Amino acid sequence: MVSTRCVLVQSFALFCPSLIVCSSAISLTGGLTLWIHVLQPIANLVMGNSCCSCWQFYCGSKGAKQRIGNSEITLDPLHLGEEGVIVKQGLRLCGSGGALATAPLTQSKTYFEVTIQTQGHWGIGLATRQADLNYVPLGLCEYSWMMLSDGRLLHRNTSVALAAADFDEGDVIGVSFDHVELKFFLNGSLLDGASFSGLRGTLYPCLFVDQGAILDLELVNFIHDSPTGFLPLMVEQDLSLGDHEDDSLKALLI
């Protein structure tokens, strides 16, 4: 049964339909104060999420998670080839080597874009943190799935497909992943046959550059429309409370 206070918390969110994250203090009997974090947009309520899923945080359940905006996601200087260089607020890769993004793809459908600023030898795709980012091209090992500047789709040093396209400076490569297929787009159009399947592991957006190539990663302001149902990469943040705080919330909400 949904507790009265949990219903009140959900009702509070109805007055804030535009909020993704906010904080408000509600004074309860005995001078206790409950800090409420409105963690999901009102669309979650419309879609029928129950107290035990979307709102489990308010009911005192541990392990509740929140997806927060992706403006903080960049290329990761801690997972960068030794001769790679990250500039332009963490979104441009130049030099020589590979780089991963700072956040993995955990949501069901993810889309991002990469702009070719300068031609050379480059690759775009996904990889795990086990991939060797010092050695190009990526795609030679079992931990990376890359589309290369010559159109080859490379994994385990095997060309699994060939993108029928000629890439040029200024082109925008779109990347979509739904945990079944990794697909690529050129200036908004799907590259037929240019896809991977059977990807495994914790996957991150991955770029590599060599021979003067420069790539820009775009995670927010897309130039082209994303495929239906695909969203920008989001950060999943653990909202579990400490034992003392969690017990206090349970006492208040049960």
> Is the confidence at residue 54, as pLDDT, over 60?
no
> Is the confidence at residue 154, as pLDDT, over 70?
yes
**Chain centroid, CA 133 distance in Å:** 20
Q: What is the pLDDT of residue 70?
A: 59
Q: Give percent above pLDDT 70 in the chain.
A: 65
Buried b (16+ CB within 10 A) or exposed e, 116-125: bbebbbbbbb
User: Lowest-confidence range among 35-39, 154-158, 171-175, 215-219?
Assistant: 35-39
Q: What is the pLDDT of residue 71?
A: 62
- Across the range 30-39, mean pLDDT stands at 35
Phi, psi of 209 (to 5 degrees): -135, 155
More confident residue, 115 or 1: 115
* Nearest alpha-carbon partner for 206 in 107, 161, 140, 120: 140
- Given a contact cutoff of 8 angstroms between Cβ atoms, the answer to whether 234 and 69 are in contact is yes
Q: Give percent above pLDDT 90 in the chain.
A: 63
- Across the range 218-234, mean pLDDT stands at 95
More confident residue, 12 or 84: 84
In this structure, what token pair is assigned to residue 44? Answer: 């979650």
Q: What is the pLDDT of residue 235?
A: 85
**pTM score, whole prediction:** 0.69
In this structure, what token pair is assigned to residue 111? Answer: 């889309």
Residue with tokens 């590979």: 98
Query: CA 171 to CA 163: how far, in whole Å?
Result: 14
- Given a contact cutoff of 8 angstroms between Cβ atoms, the answer to whether 63 and 240 are in contact is yes
- Across the range 60-82, mean pLDDT stands at 70
